[in-house]
Amino acid sequence: MFRILTFIFFLSFCTFSSAVFSAHENMTGQYETAETCRAEEIPFPFCNPIICTDPCMDSDSFCPDSTYNIPQDHSGRQTRISGQNTDITPQEAEFISWDPSFRACIPGLGRALPRSDAAWRWQIFPTGILFRSYFASITESRMGVQFIHESRQNINYWDPTLGGRFGMVRYGNFEKLYPEGFQLDVECAALARLTLDGDREVWGTDYRFGCPLTFRYHHWEFKFGYYHISSHRGDELMVRQENPRERRNYVRDTLMLAAAYRPDANWRFYFEMNYAVWTDEGAKPWQFELGCEYSPMMLPSVKGSPFFALHCRFSEDNDFGSTLTFQLGWQWKTLYQHTFRTGLYFLDGYPNQYQFYDRKERQIGWGFWYDF
């Protein structure tokens, strides 16, 4: 029943967003030149998008100093789109804003993925990630926090994550929006649970470290690697227990294998299986994860775009009982598609804090996340 309501709510959200942005485009025009914006006295932030065209290829006083520099088209006129001071290709310029049409919300009918025939070369500390973290999986390495109410025990928490992920070496191209190739990443994070009621006690912290080897080509992405996760109960919670020395030394040393498919520049579908080669204190070998994400690819813009993420986890720890996580909100992206998001957060199943892996929770709240 919840899955049906989630799908209906997402379709309603896309329809509303499409209507709002379509109305905005009808007022300002699909593409506004700098001259048109000045003639109609349209304020700078509302040109959609601001496209400054100068036959002399000199600076346009209407456009900000920081611009995207796009190679000349067949007419010899250089088009510059307001944003960061960097060069982008005409193909990348198509992603100046997200496509608000309802048709683009359907997998496979959105904008095509940008493609490049550029040669693959070795790169040290490349910018960008080939296989990105799953948005709705809270055990991933990122920066973020969600403020939640847990209805089964009627407790308020805030669960912060302090971590990151970066590339060590890549053999691939240098594209910004959608790079391809092989890449070795390093990730690490501390995932904590604190109470919002009373003294803001720390009830637990999980520590994660991993080294995924990733690959991306055309519509497909793959990941293989290792991660370690260990869970530690907080001192304040241990003092509350009848036996303060009681704790779980939950540990997983895990091999992971994952595949993802992108039918267009908006959607991603993925599946991952994990096998822990070494476990302790309640951890069992197998875990399976699958999900989907609607996250339009776009260049940096103050307007941003909507996002939607659904994630399911099945763990042998709980006899393969399911944990469903759902997020819906708004996002802003960097040139290399690092993403800041804020939105609704919902979890039904087993918590992501492994100190409490064997109890069921129903969480609802609001979150802020930055994904590398």
The pTM of the full predicted model, rounded to 2 decimals, is: 0.78
Q: Which residue has the higher pLDDT, 87 or 227?
A: 227
- pLDDT, tens digit, for every residue of 306-359? 999 999 999 999 999 999 999 999 999 999 999 999 999 999 999 988 988 888
Question: How many Cβ atoms are within 10 Å of 371's Cβ, its own excluded?
Answer: 23
- pLDDT, tens digit, for every residue of 190-228? 999 999 887 788 888 999 999 999 999 999 999 999 999
Model confidence at 371: pLDDT above 90? yes
Percentage, residues of the chain above pLDDT 90:
60
Model confidence at 241: pLDDT above 80? no
Of 75-84, 115-124, 193-202, minimum mean pLDDT range? 75-84
pLDDT value at residue 358? 87
Distance CA 341, CA 296 (A): 12
Distance CA 222, CA 258 (A): 6
Closest CA to 171 of 159, 188, 185, 183: 183
Q: Cβ-count burial of 218 within 10 angstroms (0-12 exposed, 13-18 middle, 19+ buried)?
A: exposed
C-alpha to C-alpha distances, 120 to 173, 244, 308, 335, nearest whole angstrom: 5, 56, 32, 20
Read off the tokens for 181: 């190739």
Across the chain, mean pLDDT equals 81
